[in-house]
A and B are shown apart, each in its own frame.
Chain A
Amino acid sequence: MKTIRVAAIAILVLMSLVVLGAHYLAPAGYEQQFRETTEAAPSIHHLLGTDELGRDRWARLLYGMRVSLTLAPLAALFTTVLAGLVGGIAGYFGGWTERCSKLLIDLFLSVPWLFLLITVRAVLPLNVSPEASVTVTFALLGLLGWAASARVICAGAKDLMKSEFVWMARASGFSGLKLVRLHLMPNLRGALLAQFWISIPVFIIAEANLGALGLGVAEPLPSLGSLLRELQDSVMVRPEPWRLLPLAVLIVVISSFQVLLNRQEIRT
């Protein structure tokens, strides 16, 4: 198990380096077209061949990884902050605040959020710029994916509020803000960090689903999800198996995250 974990860390470090060095590793820009060599097979010039518009697939994969692997953690950070606020406030105050927050959490957990995401994403104007589409896609992921994490944080905060050291701190005259800063935040840090790591692969998968359905990042900007759209041309996948590489990269990245997540943390 230790070997697998080390391998997972190595893969993620390697992917991060690739993402950082995409500009130097890519033979061309992600939107540069080689019109003489459309649908080309892999060669020294184009390691994964070119797509139907003559764009280098290897370059698009590198830049796609950069988009997905940079923005998914940002969305995860956003959702963790949101979950920390809602869950923390609910757990700290209890009573009606907790009941109302739990109702809101129940609501977000009841609607399959990919359903909600697709719906909201689909009503956006068709002519959004690629930069706007990528921002909107990941902002929506962050905005809609906080509920499960908030439930965990709420339970954690509630337990902490019942703990002896918090009672003693209160008896010693600690104000609310001081209590949160000195006792709640440090003790909830582990849970928040776990929720952050759990959210990253979830968001990468969600973006991949959106991208494969044509509702993710707009062309010509690539993402791991939008690169999967090439697989829809199922007739071409058998003779050109290198088209499956974005999917393989996606599975390897997510699997590496899953390996690193503790079993306790991936519990529902």
Chain B
Amino acid sequence: MLRFWSGAVLRLMAVMLMASFAGAMLMRIAPGFSSDDQELNSGLSAQSIQAIRKAHLADANIPYFYAQYLGALIRGDLGTSRSLNQPVKDLLRERLPTTLVNLAFALTVGWLLGLALAIATQTWEIPSLNFLANGLSGTFISTPAAALALVFLLLRWPPAFAAALLVFPKIYRYTQNLLQQSSEMPHVLTARAKGAGPWRVLAWHVAPIAFPQIIALVGVSISIGIGVLLPIEVVTDVAGIGQLAWQAAQARDLPLLVNLTMVVTFVTVCATLISDAAQQGLKRSAA
């Protein structure tokens, strides 16, 4: 277990360093990095425009920028947003809870809906229920997050529910697939042949095999949740991390973007590590 955790922490650190560096690199090599919309502002003096250009030049040297950034990060300083003129830490403190609450709601509802429908279709085997569940998951897996957010905006429904509906198909399809595979195993068929009821077969024979693999989906679902929340927050005007990233990207605010990338990546990697550890633990206890 110690080996697993030390390996996991090393992986986390490597991924975090690579993510932040890649984010900075992408910003730098993308055309248009050195230009700023504010340079077109006729109200600014030549000195102000020169100062804006100078600020861009300092960020242009990636190793220098990155060394400075990492040093500050170790001291707990996330820098200042150039476009919003506020410490990044404060912006994160303001916006992160909104996104986390929406993410928690989306994941809870998405998982409950996905698991409930997968278990129901597998246990009862009613063709109409199967058709309904497949139709629902097919529809939502085929709908872009931004479009569903627009529909929700039109209907004045809570945006977090739109995120839940976009997370649910992945959970439903994966779980149903696993339950299907597990229920075709010889010992499950034997249990059925001996007259065990569907719920007993599910609880005692199918779930113990499928559960550890379903747990592995937790990390992936968090990544999906964050991904779909971004356009939803932008379209429905929710003041969360997604909307902040959108504003930062439009203003080419590198410090803010790099920090947001780091936070999102950190949350996703940690969730994946925890779900991997839970999966390992469950497999070990089952063995």
Contact B144 A115 (CB under 8 A): no
When distances are taken between beta carbons in the complex, the residues of chain B under 8 Å from A10 are none
Contact B154 A237 (CB under 8 A): yes
Contact partner of B170 (CB less than 8 A), chosen from A205, A232, A268, is A268
Contact A111 B261 (CB under 8 A): yes
- We find that the number of chain A residues with CB closer than 8 angstroms to chain B is 47
Contact A267 B174, CB 8 Å, known A208-B146, A208-B147: yes
Q: Return A127 CB to nearest CB of chain B, in Å.
A: 9
0/1 string, A96-123, CB within 8 A of B gives 1: 0000000110110111111110111111
Contact B231 A212 (CB under 8 A): yes
Contact B264 A112 (CB under 8 A): yes
Contact B246 A213 (CB under 8 A): yes
Any chain B CB within 8 A of the CB of A251? Answer: yes
Contact A103 B11 (CB under 8 A): yes
- We find that the number of chain B residues with CB closer than 8 angstroms to chain A is 57
A-B contact pairs, 30 of them (CB 8 A): A103-B11, A103-B18, A104-B18, A107-B19, A107-B265, A110-B15, A111-B23, A111-B265, A112-B223, A112-B230, A113-B227, A114-B231, A115-B227, A115-B261, A118-B230, A118-B249, A119-B245, A119-B249, A120-B30, A122-B250, A124-B31, A126-B37, A205-B144, A212-B147, A231-B147, A231-B150, A254-B142, A258-B138, A259-B138, A263-B177
Interface residues of B (CB under 8 A from A): 11, 14-15, 18-19, 22-23, 26-27, 30-33, 35, 37, 138-139, 141-147, 150-151, 153-154, 170, 173-174, 177, 217, 220, 223-224, 226-228, 230-231, 234-235, 242, 245-246, 249-250, 252, 257, 260-261, 264-265, 268-269, 272
Known: A114-B231, A225-B144. 18 other contacts (CB 8 A): A107-B18, A110-B19, A114-B145, A114-B227, A115-B230, A115-B261, A119-B27, A119-B249, A123-B27, A208-B146, A209-B144, A212-B235, A228-B147, A231-B147, A250-B142, A251-B142, A258-B141, A267-B177
